[in-house]
Amino acid sequence: MKTIRNKFVLLAIVIADLTTAYAQDPLPSWNDGPAKQAIVDFVKATTETGGTSFVPPEERIATFDQDGTLWVEHPMYSQVMYCMDRVGALVKEKPELRKVEPFKTVLSGDREAIAKLSMAQLEKILAATLTGMSTEQFQAEVKQWLAEAKDPRWKKPYTELTYQPMQEVLKYLRANGFKTYIVTGGGQDFVRAYAEQTYGITPEQVVGTMGGTKYGYDKDGKPFLTKEPKMLLNDNNAGKPEGIHLMIGRRPIAAFGNSTGDRQMLEYTKAGDGARLAMIVLHDDAEREYAYGPAQGLPETKVGTFTQTLYDEAKKNGWAVISMKNDWRVIFPFDNK
């Protein structure tokens, strides 16, 4: 009987929740307009029992790019900031690297020289800071950095610079039986270190650039995994649908991106049968965040490029373009406080 009584209490809570949820706007940080409407219409169409576009819950897969789609990516991807910051800790452990390039340049703090590092030199920095340690050690290092590092413009931890309107989309989709995945060009293990706390997305629902690990034993015979400098999949461009197939094994019915690296994921999602939602964020708000494209005459960038060709493809194929400036009432969670 205790179980049944508890169940009734639970029911009261569920009803209260439901009533509140239906009474309230699920996307309060969005201005009314075609972008918001596209999301609401899609969710209604795919979840209405008996509707012609109904999708069973196990097929409700939604994928989100991270950098520039769920959180700020300018002036530089947070993971690159992490790698640069880690060089300091690295030379403490291995002082012999202090006078060796490219570490010497990074330590100099000379922004101009750092910007001129070659791709091979950057890769050396990534390999040195993202591999060679146990998976547990890496996770602890990332968590420590996130607790201390601050974005230079907002003077806030990077994990607070998520977009409130997208946080609402994640919750709205999950409340409607969707599984929400991150599909990022960033490192899978890097993003997993904070995705659960930051977005409510569990490690198994983070698809990212994947490196190999190596199974071994410590001196007490306890098994652990070491992160190896071996790329399994570069989860960018065509790698995004490939990564989605590898990790999810099902084509998403909704996808969100913001740059040319998301093109194939959006195409792949939209090419399936039935109701589909493809959305792309345009960073056109220099005042509240950043403005870059170069679509629609926005400034050029190497970080999160959104070309005019991509813009035209979006318009042609029915992907909804989200204008940060016009569609988002607020940008960050702290804007509401």
How many angstroms separate the CA atoms of 277 and 51, rounded? 17
Residues 6+ apart with CB under 8 A from 45: 51, 53, 54, 275
**250, 303, 305, 307: residue in contact with a copy of itself (rule CB under 8 A):** 250
Q: DSSP code of 214?
A: E
Binding positions for a copy of itself, 206-235, rule CB under 8 A? 206, 210, 212-215, 222-223, 225, 232-233
| Region of 104-112, 148-156, 236-244, 322-330 interacting with a copy of itself (CB under 8 A) | 236-244
Binding positions for a copy of itself, 266-295, rule CB under 8 A? 267-268, 271
**DSSP strand pairing (277-282 vs 179-187):** unpaired
Shortest reach from residue 12's CB to a copy of itself, in Å: 10
Shortest reach from residue 21's CB to a copy of itself, in Å: 10
Binding positions for a copy of itself, 74-103, rule CB under 8 A? none
3-state DSSP assignment of residue 85: helix
Cβ atoms within 10 Å of 53's Cβ, excluding its own: 15
Shortest reach from residue 246's CB to a copy of itself, in Å: 6
Residue 158: closest CA among 118, 197, 120, 131: 197
Shortest reach from residue 188's CB to a copy of itself, in Å: 7
Shortest reach from residue 296's CB to a copy of itself, in Å: 25
Burial level of 220, CB count in 10 A (0-12/13-18/19+)?
A: exposed
> Which residues bind to a copy of itself, rule: CB under 8 A?
3-4, 7-8, 11, 14-15, 18-19, 22, 58, 135, 179, 188-189, 192, 196, 202-204, 206, 210, 212-215, 222-223, 225, 232-233, 238-239, 241-242, 245-250, 264, 267-268, 271
